[in-house]
Amino acid sequence: MYDKEYFAEQLKNILEPIERFYNGSKVQFAQHSAWYENASADMEAFARPLWGLVPLWAGGKNAESFEKLYLSGLADGTDSDSEGYWGECHERDQRFVEMASIAYGLIFAKDKLWEPLADRAKDNLEKWLGSINAHDVCDSNWIFFRVLVNVAMKKVGRKYDAVRLEKDLARLDEFYIGNGWYKDGIHGQTDYYIAFAFHFYGLVYAVAMENEDSERARKYKERASEFAKTFIYWFDEDGEALPYGRSLTYRFAQTAFWSACVTAGIRPFPIEVMKGIIVRNLENWLSKDIFDHACILTVGYDYPNLLMAEHYNAHGSPYWGLKAYMFLMLPDNHEFWKCEAAPMPSLNGKKLIKEAQMLVSRRNGRSVAYVGGNNTYFDCGQIIPKYLKFAYSAHFGFNVMRSNISLAETAPDSMLVFMVDGIVMVRRHFTSCAVNEDKVVIEWSPFKGIEVKTTVTPTDYGHMREHEITSDIECEAYDAGFAVANRDSDNCVSGGGETAFARNSFQQCEVLSESGGEGIVIPASPNTNLRYQKTLIPAMKYEIRQGKNIIRTIVKDGGLV
């Protein structure tokens, strides 16, 4: 069933609804804005479908109407005399991000995107793409955008900056921290960008430059193989992947890493296992409400949701997820198309991913990640809930904040929060963090005058939290479990005494106190959870006295029903 024709048709079904919105060099269906120029957002929406179209073309399939749109759009967008001109670029320009997909096309599908262009259009495209060498890019995975542009120019026989290319590749190596993991630039995040940016682009480079730079190609493949051994723990057996960190609206880009591995010919796991991960993730996503009524991909996660978005999520941003279809460039007789999709292999019950500051507990085919968090605050949208909860689960998803004026609007699943003078104070950073084979220990402060040492220990039923709190003030604290989907009539909730739980037909979470707490259930503000529009959060309420307080909360997730 899952052969080349199946996935080519799947990709076309995603792309065809946007065809009517092409307007020369732009794709215009915006209903909201991002932080960058609106013209750049329209250009982004033009460029990002190439992440899917390029491997489709490279694999021998046709999409003639899109070929015409891109040939005319590339000519129009890079012509400074045209009304559709994409404009001159500036430092750290969003358009540098989108240059990468065009470069991808010139590398692997130049017969569609380069050779048919008129000489003047080729000159203009060379000049416009080359402007990335005259500007700074963000000191992060963005460096790969400039790498791909220079590789593309080399491949089509045009001017490229060999010195800059070598310096950029050397700089990217400085982000490598071992065991297949990178850190993403100056903020040091270890999130999905390691998989769908560093390794994806590294494997694109390895495939493109196998002959010219065999040593670096070998190194990128070896690192990807090592990374796969821990990244596999981010995937549940039903196809769900761990929601953690930023850029989650790219959705099925979660599996782009595995697609690149297959395409690059590396086998950290049997190809049947990797095909299974890819198939289940794509099928899972395409069964959800991620398209609007015009069949356009929306910003959000399981459903349209701007509340969880970053400030760089414009209308075309979700189409970055089409990187997952890199495997479409495989030849028709490749073993990937013939083999069966295998289930997940047997994995350890616990896995320490030291480089990601993460301890993963694996039960019943599902993962829960206990994290230290990201200690560098950077402003791009909902960073605190995306990195600083105690536990992350694909089964439950997680909630973002609407405000901190009430528990409902803070929606503090998997967090310890403090009510101080009517304001809900959350963890924003930590002073120290240790992630070990069996527990996570974090020292942190939500508010001046309150110091906390939290120890999170995975158990057979969920996890245990112990908090040592030293406070200069009296206040209330709430230790919350996972957010459970609220399906109105399909719910059972209870609070009071030293326990609280929320349950539906497919989820349940119970919290219990070993230190005199009071059980409550928090009805989270709607549309705060990534997966479910309405959720209920069982929590324990504690009275915090001046001086030292020790509270212990047990979180039972019901065996992840």
β-strand partners of 451: 470
- Name the pLDDT band for 488 (thresholds 50, 70, 90): confident
In CATH terms, the fold of domain 4-338 is Glycosyltransferase (1.50.10)
pLDDT > 60? residue 374: yes
Mean pLDDT for the stretch of residues 439-460: 97
pLDDT > 50? residue 34: yes
pLDDT > 90? residue 379: no
Q: How far apart are CA 316 and CA 423, in angstroms?
A: 36
> Above pLDDT 90, what percent of the chain?
94
Question: In sequence order, what DSSP letters do the residues of 489-543 get, joined into one string?
Answer: TS-EEEEETTEEEEE-SS-EEEEEESSS-EEEEEEPPTT-BSS-SSEEEEEEEEE
Residue 377 pLDDT:
66
Residue 492 pLDDT:
76
168's enclosing H/E stretch is helix 162-173
CA-CA-CA-CA torsion sign (399, 403, 407, 408): negative
Q: What is the mean pLDDT of the chain?
A: 96
pLDDT > 60? residue 402: yes
pLDDT > 60? residue 560: no
* Domain parsing of the chain, residue ranges: 4-338, 353-556
Q: Which CATH code of 1.10.1060.10, 1.20.1260.10, 2.120.10.90, 2.70.98.10 fits the domain covering 353-556? A: 2.70.98.10
Calculate the dihedral angle through the C-alpha atoms of 490, 496, 499, 505, rounding to the nearest 10 degrees: 0
Residue 279 pLDDT:
98
Mean pLDDT for the stretch of residues 69-90: 98
Question: What's the pLDDT tens digit per position in 162-214?
Answer: 999 999 999 999 999 999 999 998 778 899 999 999 999 999 999 999 999 99
| 391 φ/ψ angles, rounded to the nearest 5 degrees | -145, 145
Lowest mean pLDDT among 85-94, 98-107, 330-339, 552-561: 552-561
3-state helix, strand, coil in the chain (%, to 5): 40, 25, 40
Question: What's the pLDDT tens digit per position in 203-255?
Answer: 999 999 999 999 999 999 999 999 999 999 999 999 999 999 999 999 999 99
Q: How far apart are CA 415 and CA 394, in angstroms?
A: 17
Residue 196 pLDDT:
97
Mean pLDDT for the stretch of residues 438-450: 96
Q: How many CB atoms lie within 10 A of CB 516?
A: 11
pLDDT > 70? residue 561: no
| Residue 462 falls in which region: left (phi positive, over 0), alpha (psi -120 to 50) or beta | left
Mean pLDDT for the stretch of residues 466-491: 93
Contacts of 388 (CB under 8 A, 6+ apart): 373, 374, 415, 426, 427, 428, 429
- Name the pLDDT band for 495 (thresholds 50, 70, 90): confident
Q: How far apart are CA 255 and CA 476, in angstroms?
A: 42
What's 338-363 look like in SS3?
HCCCCCCCCCCCEEEEHHHCEEEEEE
